[in-house]
Amino acid sequence: MKERSVRIGRKPLKYYVVERPDYVAVAPIFQNKILLITQMRYGAGKIIKNIPMGILQKREKPRKAAQRELEEETGIIVKEKDLKYLGNFYVAPSFTPIKGHLFMVNCQNSSFKGKFPVEEGHEFMEIKWYSLNSLPSTDELDLTSQLAIAKVRQILTKKR
């Protein structure tokens, strides 16, 4: 966290900025279901369900990062071109410049490595497909996943 200050008129104002890399989040969809990962989120101090996500590495493009994170966290291999970009957003612009890049991928033609890579000693607890009609409550989901679910529902509804 970095302390910064600005002048508003004659008065100096101190504020703090949390600096971290931007991140990607991928909503994997298969037969009207979305893949969610259940894991301990230490910042919140509780178990949360979320779509696969992770930070961008230096000079990495969001689409490449989304492809990499999806494979690392789920074992699902997709082509970069199959990742549909849903847009970007600021997580909490009042105290951080972190930007999230949101993607969706239809896993119909994807390659699965078989078993999901739940690592021993890692924070992952469960990886499971959820019907878009029967999802966990919002207090069990992080905000990025809630946004992804809303965007996915909007896209799938338009296709009907």
Range 55-67 average pLDDT = 96
**For residue 31, what are the domain limits?**
2-159
**What is the tens place of the pLDDT at every residue in 149-160?**
999 999 988 876
**What is the tens place of the pLDDT at every residue in 88-122?**
999 888 888 899 999 999 988 666 655 555 555 55
Give the amino acid at 136: P
Q: What is the mean pLDDT of the chain?
A: 88
Give the span between the Cα atoms of 73 and 116, in whole angstroms: 8
* Lowest mean per-residue pLDDT among 44-48, 120-124, 131-135: 120-124
Checking 104-108 for CB contacts under 8 A at 24+ apart, the result is: 104/26, 104/27, 104/29, 104/148, 104/151, 104/152, 104/155, 105/26, 105/27, 105/28, 105/29, 105/70, 105/78, 106/29, 106/30, 106/82, 107/28, 107/29, 107/30, 107/35, 107/76, 107/78, 108/30, 108/31
Give me the CATH number covering residue 107.
Answer: 3.90.79.10
pLDDT score recorded for residue 122: 58
pLDDT score recorded for residue 5: 82
Number of domains making up the chain: 1
